[in-house]
Each structure stands twice: as C-alpha cells, then as structure tokens.
Amino acid sequence: MKIVFAGTPEFAVPSLRAAAGKAEIVAVYTQPDRPAGRGRALTPSPVKREALARGFEVRQPETLRTAAAREALRALEPDLMVVVAYGLLLPQGILDIPRDGCWNVHASLLPRWRGAAPVQRAIEAGDTETGVCLMQMERGLDTGPVLLSQTLAIGEHETGGQLHDRLAELGAQVLADGLGLLRAGIRPVAKPQPEAGATYARKLDKAEARLDWSQPAQALANRVRAFNPWPMAEAEVAGERLRIHAAVALPAQHQAPPGTVLAAGRDGIDVACGDGALRIRTLQRAGGKAITAADYLNARRDLAAAR
C-alpha cells in the first residue's frame, strides 16, 4: 500500500510514524520552511524533520491548486493520502487522485469543533470529553464522513498543551487501526456526520489572550487552561501585566469591581470577576519565568501586606 502523507506541526508526527509502520510512504508533503525564533531564520516543520530522519522524500509546495501539483501527485500513484494538520486546503482535483481517496485525522468528535483549533476550543467551552475522528475527506471543511473515532475524557485541570499531546497519540492509534483494516481488505464504513451539533473551532488569535475580568471566573479559568502554552492568557493584576499559566475558578461572593484583588496568599491571588473569583496559582512577569503565586508575592510585599 503506497501512501502520501501530508502534515506540518508536532501534532502530525505520531501519525506519520504510525503510517510508516503500516505502509510504504512514497512522499511527505509539508508546509514550506517558515521564519521562526528571534533571528527569524527559516525553520523546517516538525513533520519535515521527522520525514528527513526517516529518509522519506519531502515536498513543500506553496499550493496544490495548480496542474503541476496534480501531476506531481498523480505520478506517485498513491493508494491513499493521509492528511494531518497539513495547513493547505485540498482541491477536488487532489482528493480524486489516490485510489482510496484522502483520509484526515481530526482532533475532535465531529461534527463538534470543525476547523483549525479543536483542542483549545473544546477546553475553552468547558467540554468534559473530546476525541479523534478518522475522516474521509471531501471539499467541505471537516465535513466528510467519519470512518473511525475514539473518545477521550478531558481532565479537570488539563491544559491545551497536555490535551494536544494525548490527542496526537490517540490520532496515531486511530490511523493505525484504519490502515490495518485497509491492508486486510476491509474498508472502514463511512458514516455521514449529523447536521445537529456542528460547531466551528476558529484559529487562535493572540488578541484573545487578554482576560476580561468582567466575565465569569469559570470562563476565564477555562481560557487560561486552553491557551497554555500558546498564546497564554494575560491580564492586569494589581497594576502589573502578567501572563497567567494556571488558575482556578472560585464561587466567591463579593461586591468588588471586576479586577480587584480580593486576597493574596500562599494558595494564590484571588481576583474579582463578573461572577465569582479567579485564583491565580502560576504566573509570569515580563521577561521572567513561570513562578508560583507565593513566589511572586515575595517580590510584591506591598500586595501581600495589603491583603
């Protein structure tokens, strides 16, 4: 079985490894190298690094919408194309080339959280479970029928980064199961997605990271978890801009204006919200590293003494 794999970020790497264990990888498609870091040097994607380490041919087209792109893929004579967080839309002319079409590993229980950031949006919304779907791709955005799926519970304090890593491994497992069936001549049954329950997981924007203290504490706690490690929540606390790494919601009753520090001690810094209070447990000052609230208060004697 000849497979073309298409993926870019770290999330796709476990799936590439799984595919390599089940079939012949004839080429790996990934996004072109992008500037990164302080020096803005061109940096290969995690999938490219993994592919080169395994000796796979790597292709990095800017688009798949040209006749040349279609002919280049057709020349590989793939049985299947596996797409995992690739970052380019596949036009119908590409979807039609592999004998068995194109499969996509998506980090949600479709039709909930179609789109670019399903992991973070699930946490932000307060979902208690999510999962992975192996989907037969079609022209719509994550609208294709589901071949296989696995459910995963979201931990009460789990961050976006932690859930991302668990879903990446679960996605590789689901892909391996699907490829194993296909190799045995058993094509997974494609089940159309229901229209009810469809939601869209829009791409993360750094502007979303600023916390609005007028919102309910639980909504802010969910956002802190979802946006760790990126873009990382930030807020004005006692006159200082801080990045918030970990926080929990408290059902506190108060009459204080949102943003007021209600208490500050070893357990954290409690800030008044529109409903309840947010207890900040781990934070980061500008130019510093992540520290506990207790360590922060050692440097803010004025705040600790006042509260």
* Distances 108 to 12, 130, 156 between C-alpha atoms, Å: 14, 5, 18
Is residue 214 a known part of a binding site?
Answer: no
Q: What is the DSSP letter of 165?
A: H
216: its two tokens: 């309910």
User: The dihedral of CA 96, 102, 107, 112: what is its sign?
Assistant: positive
Cis, bond preceding 98 (omega within 30 deg of 0):
no
Please tell me the number of Cα atoms within 13 Å of 43 on its side-chain side.
11
The answer for 152, left when phi > 0, alpha when psi is -120 to 50, beta otherwise, is beta
Helix 13-20 and helix 46-53, axial crossing angle in degrees, nearest 10: 30
Q: Whole-angstrom distance between the N-terminal and C-terminal Cα of the chain?
A: 66
Is residue 262 a known part of a binding site?
Answer: no
102: its two tokens: 């194109």
User: Binding site membership: which residues?
Assistant: 108-111
User: Binding site membership for (6S)-5,6,7,8-tetrahydrofolate: which residues?
Assistant: 108-111
